[in-house]
């Protein structure tokens, strides 16, 4: 009888064990689900932090993300586009500087002369390719990098030049503009091994700028036709 009683109890034992296993399985599934959700939350947070590292991303989803470069870039394209206007130079602070391997301009008037002179040498000019990166340096200060290819037409021939433009911006205004041809540092006392050679190159660029400035009417805006 005891064996028969044990045999009759066996199915009940199976049912009880099955329920126990099912409950344990649900606990494991729930724990796994929580773990997966936690991982997704961490990944989402990581992606949001990564997006926020570009420029001045807004943390408010109802405010459209805005970069300083959005306002400056159209004017830069005009400056390198053969026919700049006086309004395009409003992106510069009054004491801004511009430098490339040929010239070193100080102040907006000299910067005007540097870009107005392009149309006197070339029959056409434009920036045909570019990519922009904006870095937040500190509150109110940004660095804008424009990796680009410029095309100039001289005596009927197209001349392409790769460059890296560096714009240093404070309170929305460009305070320093560097155009590094072939993406190489501009030669000066800080970038050349022999400081005296670098100083000589600085003097030559300043002299070239002053001559150009005089030839262009000291930054006089051209009259609209």
Q: Are residues 40 and 95 in the same domain?
A: no
The mean per-residue pLDDT over the stretch 159-184 comes to 98
Alpha helix segments (H runs only) across 106-194: 108-116, 118-121
Q: Which domain holds residue 107?
A: 68-215
Query: In CATH, what number is assigned to the domain containing residue 129?
Result: 3.10.450.50
Residue 208 placed within a domain: yes
- Using one digit for the tens of pLDDT, what is the confidence trace for 176-212? 999 999 999 999 999 999 999 999 999 999 999 999 9
Q: Are residues 95 and 42 in the same domain?
A: no
Say if residue 94's pLDDT is above 90. Answer: yes
Say if residue 115's pLDDT is above 60. Answer: yes
Query: Quick one: pLDDT at residue 139?
Result: 95
Q: Are residues 109 and 36 in the same domain?
A: no
Strands 92-99 and 173-181: parallel
Residue 62 placed within a domain: no
Q: Are residues 24 and 83 in the same domain?
A: no
Query: Quick one: pLDDT at residue 175?
Result: 98
Residue 221 placed within a domain: no
Residue 199 dihedral angles phi and psi, to the nearest 5°: -65, -40
**Number of domain units in the chain:** 2
Angle at 148 between CA 205 and CA 72, to 5 degrees: 80
Q: Are residues 33 and 143 in the same domain?
A: no
pLDDT band at 224, cuts 50/70/90? low
Q: Are residues 32 and 88 in the same domain?
A: no
Paired tokens of 218: 């000291």
- Between residues 51 and 88, the one the model is more confident about: 88
Angle at 219 between CA 213 and CA 220, to 5 degrees: 130
CB 136 within 8 A of CB 89: no
Query: Quick one: pLDDT at residue 66?
Result: 73
- Using one digit for the tens of pLDDT, what is the confidence trace for 203-220? 999 999 999 999 999 999
pLDDT band at 65, cuts 50/70/90? low
Q: Are residues 128 and 193 in the same domain?
A: yes
d(CA 99, CA 171): 21
The mean per-residue pLDDT over the stretch 158-173 comes to 98
Q: Are residues 46 and 106 in the same domain?
A: no
Q: Are residues 155 and 106 in the same domain?
A: yes
């Amino acid at each position: 009888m005891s064996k028969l009683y044990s045999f009759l109890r066996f199915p009940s034992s199976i049912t009880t064990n099955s329920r126990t296993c099912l409950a344990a399985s649900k606990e494991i599934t729930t724990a796994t689900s929580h773990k997966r959700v936690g991982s997704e939350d961490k990944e989402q947070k990581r992606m949001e932090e990564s997006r926020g590292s570009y420029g001045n991303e807004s943390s408010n989803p109802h405010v459209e993300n805005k970069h300083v470069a959005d306002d400056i870039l159209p004017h830069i394209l005009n400056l390198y586009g053969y026919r700049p206007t006086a309004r395009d130079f409003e992106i510069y602070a009054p004491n801004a500087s511009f430098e490339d391997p040929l010239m070193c301009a100080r102040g907006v008037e000299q910067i005007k002369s540097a870009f107005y002179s392009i149309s006197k040498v070339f029959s056409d000019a434009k920036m045909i390719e570019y990519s922009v990166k904006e870095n937040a340096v500190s509150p109110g200060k940004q660095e804008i990098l424009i990796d680009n290819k410029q095309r100039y037409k001289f005596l009927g021939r197209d001349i392409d030049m790769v460059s890296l433009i560096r714009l240093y911006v404070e309170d929305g205004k460009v305070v320093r503009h560097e155009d590094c041809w072939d993406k190489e540092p501009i030669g000066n006392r800080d970038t050349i091994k022999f400081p005296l050679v670098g100083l000589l190159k600085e003097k030559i660029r300043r002299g070239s700028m002053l001559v150009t400035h005089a030839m262009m009417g000291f930054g006089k805006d051209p009259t609209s036709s």
